[in-house]
Amino acid sequence: MSWLFLTFTSVIFRAVYGVMSKVLSSKVKTSIYTQVALLSFCGAVLGFIASPLLGGLNFNFSSVSIVSIILLMLGQGLGNIAYFSGIKNLTNGTTQIAFSSILLFNTFLSLIFLHLHLSLLNVFGLVLLMLAIVSVISGKIELHRKGVALIVLSALLFSVFQLSSSQISKQVGAAMYIIIAYLGSVVIIMAFKGKAVIQDLMSSRKRSTLSVTLLTALPSSGYYLFSYYAYRSAPTPAKVAMLLTSQVVLTVFLSYFFLKEKGHVLRKILAAVLVVTSAVLIKN
C-alpha cells in the first residue's frame, strides 16, 4: 500500500481517537494518571491479541536502539499525561488545533537529527502554522491558556515519540512496536503514580471505566498501527509525521457533530485550513 494511503488512514483513526479521548476525560471519573495507565494498558492488550495477524512477536532486541526505546517511552508516557491534563480545560476542536504545533516540533527535530532540508515553501508553511496556533492561543478570553500550554507541551513530547517511532519502526515488527509504545507509557505512569493509580482503580466503577477506555484504545491502536506502516514505507519518515497533522480538520468536524462543540466554528475551521495548507507546503 502507498505510504500516503497509510498516512491518510492513520489520520482518520487519530481524529476518532481525538474525539474519544475527550469522552474518556469527561466520562471516566478517575485521575489523569489512571486514565493514561488504563488507556495504555488496553492498547498493549489489543496489540498482543492482534500480534498473530501482524507477524507475531520477536523478542530479539539486539539490533534495537535502547536510546530510541527510552525516548519513545518517555514521549508517550509524559505526553499522554500532559495531553489529558490539558483537554479537561479545552474543547476538543481547540485541543486539536493547539496540538498541531507538533508539526513545528517535528520539523525542528528532523532538521537536527534526521538532516531534513527545508525550501522556501517549507518555511512559508511553518509561518502559516504559527499563525494558526497563535489564532487559537491569543484570541478569545474563554480559551484556557494553561490548557493550551499543556497541549503544546504534549505536542513536543509526542514529537519525540514520533521521531523515535520512525527509527524503531525499521527495527521491530508492528505488534511489538505497539506493545512497547503502550507498555512504556504504563511503566512511566506506574513509576511516578503507581500507588495512586491502584487506589483509584479500587474505588472506581470498573465496568464503565473499562468499557470507555477500551473504546478509546481501539482508534488509538489503529492510529499507531497505520502510522507504523507509513513510517516504514515512506521515503522520508519526517513527511509522515508532518502530514499526520492534517487530522485536525477531521477532528474539528467530528467534534461539531458528535460533541456539539459549535462555538467559534468559523475561526476553528479557518485555523484548521491554515494547518493543512502549511502541511502541504512543508511536504513539498
Residues of the chain with pLDDT under 50: 137-142
pLDDT at 108: 85
Q: Cα dihedral angle (4, 181, 101, 24), rounded to 10 degrees?
A: 100
pLDDT at 43: 92
Q: CB neighbours (10 Å) of residue 80? A: 27
- Sign, CA torsion 106/108/110/116: positive
As a whole number of angstroms, the distance between CA 61 and CA 46 comes to 21
pLDDT at 225: 93
Contact between 212 and 30 (Cβ < 8 Å):
no
Give 146-180 pLDDT, tens digit per residue.
888 999 999 999 999 988 888 888 888 899 999 99
**Residue 261 DSSP code:** -
The CA–CA distances, whole Å, from 233 to 110, 173, 230, 239, 250 equal 17, 13, 5, 11, 24
Is the backbone of residue 30 left (phi > 0), alpha (psi -120 to 50) or beta?
beta
pLDDT at 148: 87
pLDDT at 141: 37
Helices 206-233 and 145-168: angle between axes, nearest 10 degrees: 50
Q: Cα dihedral angle (228, 234, 240, 246), rounded to 10 degrees?
A: -100
pLDDT at 206: 64
pLDDT at 230: 92
Give 75-99 pLDDT, tens digit per residue.
988 988 888 788 877 876 677 778 8
pLDDT at 207: 63
Give Cα 82 to chain centroid, integer Å: 11
**Residue 246 DSSP code:** G
Amino acid at 64: V
Structural domain count of the chain: 1
- Sign, CA torsion 224/227/228/231: negative
pLDDT at 259: 65
Domain that holds residue 92: 3-283
Taking every pair of C-alpha atoms in the chain, what is the biggest distance, in angstroms?
56
Contact between 57 and 172 (Cβ < 8 Å):
no
pLDDT at 97: 74
